[in-house]
Chains A and B, each alone.
Chain A
Amino acid sequence: MTAEKISSLAVPAVILLFCFCLVRGRGSAYESFMKGAKDGLKTSLGVFPVMTLLIVSLSMFSASGAAEVISSFLSPVCVRLGVPEGIIPLVVMRPFSGSASTAAYSALLDKFGADSFESFAASVIMGSGDTLVYVISVYYSAVKAKKSGYVFPVSAFVALFAVFFGCTLARLFMN
């Protein structure tokens, strides 16, 4: 309960601190706000074209049923390695789409029950990773430098590690 309270207080606390700085800095702090806000707008407009391209392709990916096809290839290997078959579609979607993997997560909770091993493992995997394709593309769309070659493989490896380690942790914590 307290944990949930702390996280719901985070935003108001930051705003309060911000308000304090505004009052203390008078006019100059307000100018800082305007400057930062304009930069923020410029940055987000700058990444918009790349984001559209990315979101369209990811949306096609979700609709095409590619996740099911890939999962059916992966499941024999994964099950042998201790990853339950039920969570494989979620594992496949996770790097590509936040909304699709959240939808897969809700469906999984309904199908297996919220306190099942599948749901627990899926929760750990969902909680310790982000939509890596989106994150990396958006981060690098704001800059001139080319993405170093190792960024994708390393993140993919980390995401894969999260899947296996998440299942191991689920097994440990549920007994």
Chain B
Amino acid sequence: MIWLCFAVITVVSFVCAAVCGNLELMTTAVVDGCMKSVKIALELSGGAVFWCGVMRVLLDGGVLRFLSRVLTPVLSLAFPRAWRSGEGRDEITAAICANMLGIGNAATPYALSAMKKMDGDGNEGDMGTFAVLGTCSASIIPTTLITLRRAAGSVEPYSIVVPIWLCSLSCALIGVVLSRIFGRTKA
């Protein structure tokens, strides 16, 4: 699937660049993209090494088990099979908590290990739900947005928090419900 994604994006970009006369910019974009990917990969690896180590300690120390038990009433509805088998349950909890706390660089490695655990279990339905939920991941406090708003001279930089909660909660609900429906008919 990823090759198709790549092909579509490339063709669309090429056509648009030709129309807008941006073909030269695309050359630099390729070079820049390669360099940027190294930067992102290094940042991700640094975060992954540290935060996966932390997660493992919290996992073996029982902290994540406790957290996922607390969140069971909500999350077991979204990920029934992971909660039944226990495969990936604690990793899902860690990823969602990290996302909500705004620790984005920890959330990605946690999400990857959650996907791996569910993959080992052949749990495609919950993997789909988890990926969809990952695309509407939201932090409780959108710090970056608030900082940018304040820098731009907003009178009430915090006024966006409640609507963001409403919007992301509805998105998460719709995403989970839809992927449960489609995931079930496929399985």
Contacts and interface: CB of A to CB of B under 8 A. Distances in A.
A40 interface: yes
Contacts of B128: 147-148, 150-151, 154
A165 interface: yes
Nearest to B144: A102
B170 interface: yes
Contact of A10 (B50, B103, B166): B103
Contact of A130 (B112, B135, B163, B178): B135
A77 interface: no
B182 to A, nearest CB: 4
B164 A127 contact: yes
Nearest to A7: B141
A25 B136 contact: no
Nearest to A105: B148
A145 interface: yes
A66 B91 CA distance: 37
B75 interface: no
Contacts of B160: 120, 123-124, 127
Given A7-B139, A66-B16, A127 B61 contact: no
A29 B63 CA distance: 13
Interface in A1-23: 3-4, 6-8, 10-11, 14-15, 17-18, 21-22
B83 interface: no
Contacts, number: 354
A148 B186 contact: yes
A27 to B, nearest CB: 12
Contacts of A170: 163
A65 to B, nearest CB: 4
Interface of A is mostly: helix
B40 A148 contact: no
Given A24-B61, A53-B2, A66-B16, A44 B41 contact: yes
Interface string A28-69: 110011111111110111011011111111111111111011
Nearest to B34: A56
Given A17-B58, A63-B25, A150-B182, A166 B167 contact: yes
Contacts of B26: 60, 63-64
Contacts of A65: 16-17, 19-20, 22, 25
A143 B54 contact: no
Contact of B175 (A59, A158, A169): A158
A91 to B, nearest CB: 14
Contacts of B112: 43-44, 47, 138-139, 142
A75 interface: no
Contact of A162 (B139, B152, B155, B167): B167
Given A114-B154, A115-B156, A158-B135, A60 B167 contact: no
A154 to B, nearest CB: 5
A128 B161 CA distance: 10
Contacts of B96: none
B70 interface: no
Nearest to A162: B171
B116 A36 contact: no
B149 A150 contact: no
A13 to B, nearest CB: 9
| 6 A-B pairs closest in CB distance | A36-B56, A40-B52, A59-B33, A37-B53, A114-B154, A63-B29
